[in-house]
Structure 1
Amino acid sequence: MFGEYSLGELTSIFVMQGFAGLILFSVFLLMALGLAIIFGQMGVINMAHGEFMILGAYVTWMCSTFFHGYLPALVPIYFFIAMILAFLVSGALGVAVEWLMIRRLYKRPLDTLLATWGLSLILQQFYRSVFGPREVGVELPQWMLGSLPVTDVIEIQINGLFVMALTTIITIAVAVMMYRSRWGMQVRAVVQNRVMAGAVGINTEKVDRYTFGIGCGIAGIAGSAFTMIGSTGPTAGQLYIVDTFLVVVFGGAASLAGTIASAFTISQAQSIMEFFLSGSIAKVLTLLAVVGILMLRPQGLFVLKVRR
């Protein structure tokens, strides 16, 4: 497999695929952060998480169309506005879904899985009816286009650097919210002992609703980042939901560090193997490796130690 390449060519291939893997890692991590909050902290299996991501992607596409058509002077900054709107719209839908459906299904994982799977199908059909079945793509600002030459054969895409910077900022923000804010303290209290948290005055229903909404809002931001590396279609979210659950479970459902390490490992493995093998074979080998490790360590790479 490697014999037909020289050492210099292999080095360039690994660097380029490694950078492509970092872009995939960024999307995986943004998706997994929202899912880790919902699944890891609330225990809700949200099979519609990919559709919340695609909602953010469609919001970004609509912003792109609107700004290019009516406010061309603001095109260089429209992407920042689109990300904020994607977070708000996806988060608002998440809050509504939690209030209308999820709050009635806590501690019923199978019912929650089936209900959110049905919701994903409803949202897919809604996107198909409103936006059409064909895939759409955003027009990026000029400053995001092009690449930066590193060597004669290695170039780094500017939009990829932007996605990685965005992922770093969101990850730090989530860490601060979870471990340094009053909301994060309340979330962790509800996770550890819901009855005692309610007894000391925490509104557990409100915490659940906002937690679910924030997780869905982060998925919306992931959708904005997704528009830079792929086209948006009604069923595009389903292509990432399995990988995202894999990232969360492999890293440890309630561990932020585990989510980051898992997303990096899986994305890099897939990116490098896809160059030398087919995409399907790379995914199968990655899945087999993860399943094998989970058989030896079912709690994931990282596990939070809780005093009992």
Structure 2
Amino acid sequence: MFADYTMTELTSIFAMQGFAGLILFSVFVLMALGLAIIFGQMGVINMAHGEFMILGAYVTYLTSTLFAEYLPSIYDSYFFIAMIFAFIVTAALGALVEWAIIRHLYKRPLDTLLATWGLSLILQQLYRTVFGAREVGVTLPDWLMGSYALNENIEIPINGLFVMGLTIVITVGVALMMQKSRLGKQTRAVVQNRPMAAAVGINTEKVDRMTFALGCGIAGIAGSAFTMIGSTGPTSGQLYIVDTFLVVVFGGASSLIGTVASAFTISQAQSTMEFFLSGSTAKVLTLLTVVGILMLRPQGLFSLKIRR
């Protein structure tokens, strides 16, 4: 596999693929943060999580189009406003879905899987009807164009650096919110002991709705970041949903540290192997490795003690 390359070429390949893996890691983390909250905290298998991400991407696309048409003088700042809009829209849809569907299916995980899978198909068709079947993309602001050249063989795109920086900010923000905010403390209380949380006055139904909305809102932010590195289509979310579930399960449900560690491990493994092998082979080898580790440690890399 490596015999056809010189040591200098291998060093450059591993460096470039490592950075590509970091960009993939950023998408995985942003997707998995929302899914870890929904699946890890609530036990809901949300197969429509990828469609919430793509909704955020489409909101970002619409915002960029409006800015380009009506506010070209401040186009360079459109992304930050688009990200806020993406969070609000996807969180609002998440709250509606929880109220209309999910709250009737708690403690029935297979039913939530079927219901959200049906929802994902509905959303895909809705996107196809509204935006068309062809993929769309945004025009990056000037300050996100170009790349930094580390040497003559290695260049780092600026938009990739921006996505990684955004991922760090969002991850730290979610960690602080879950540890310090009122909603975060209530969510952890409901997860650890729902009957006792209800007994001390916590509105568990409201916490469930807010938690589901938060997870969907973070998926919307992931969609905004996704537009920086790829084009958006009605089925784009399905390309990441399996890997995202793999990240959450492998890292350990309810564990933020496990989610980050798992996303880094899987993204780097896939990125490196995809260069030397086919993409499908890399995914299969990654999946088999993760399954093997989970057979030895079914709780994942990290786990929290939860009273049922």
TM-score, normalisation: structure 1:
0.98
1:163-213 deviation digits (Å, cap 9, x = unpaired): 000000000011001112221110011111212111111111110000000
Which residue is equivalent to 1:295?
295
1:88-136 deviation digits (Å, cap 9, x = unpaired): 1000000010011111110011111100000000000100111111110
Local SS of the residue matching 2:137: coil
1:43-96 deviation digits (Å, cap 9, x = unpaired): 100000000000000001111111111110111100111111111100000001
Matches of 2:305 and 2:110, distance apart in 1 = 27
Local SS of the residue matching 2:156: strand
Matches within 5 A, 1:69-108: 69-108=69-108
1:202-255 deviation digits (Å, cap 9, x = unpaired): 111110000000000000000011112211010111110000000000000111
Q: Does residue 19 of structure 1 match 2:9?
A: no
Which residue is equivalent to 1:40?
40
Matches of 2:193 and 2:265, distance apart in 1 = 33
Matches of 2:11 and 2:260, distance apart in 1 = 25
- Preserved CA contact (<8 Å) 2:192 2:307: no
Amino acid at match of 2:122: I
Which residue is equivalent to 1:253?
253
Which residue is equivalent to 1:3?
3
1:306: Cα distance to partner? Answer: 4.3
Matches within 5 A, 1:223-262: 223-262=223-262
Which residue is equivalent to 1:67?
67
Q: Does residue 172 of structure 1 match 2:172?
A: yes
Which residue is equivalent to 1:183?
183
Matches of 2:75 and 2:113, distance apart in 1 = 40
Number of aligned pairs? 308
- Preserved CA contact (<8 Å) 2:82 2:224: yes
Which residue is equivalent to 2:218?
218
Which residue is equivalent to 1:130?
130
1:152: Cα distance to partner? Answer: 1.4
Matches of 1:292 and 1:220, distance apart in 2 = 32
Amino acid at match of 1:49: H
Which residue is equivalent to 2:209?
209
- Preserved CA contact (<8 Å) 2:193 2:307: no
TM-score, normalisation: structure 2:
0.98
1:1-35 deviation digits (Å, cap 9, x = unpaired): 10111111111110010000000000000000000
Matches of 1:276 and 1:196, distance apart in 2 = 53
Matches of 2:135 and 2:216, distance apart in 1 = 22
Matches of 2:167 and 2:69, distance apart in 1 = 29
Which residue is equivalent to 1:277?
277
Local SS of the residue matching 1:156: strand
Local SS of the residue matching 2:298: coil
Matches of 1:21 and 1:181, distance apart in 2 = 32
1:307: Cα distance to partner? Answer: 6.8
Amino acid at match of 2:49: H
Q: CA RMSD in A?
A: 0.9
1:267: Cα distance to partner? Answer: 0.3
Local SS of the residue matching 1:231: coil
Matches of 1:234 and 1:65, distance apart in 2 = 18
Amino acid at match of 2:209: R
1:305: Cα distance to partner? Answer: 3.0
Matches of 2:174 and 2:139, distance apart in 1 = 29
Local SS of the residue matching 1:152: coil
Local SS of the residue matching 2:234: coil
Matches of 1:25 and 1:306, distance apart in 2 = 28
Unpaired segments of 5 or more residues in structure 1?
none
Local SS of the residue matching 1:33: helix
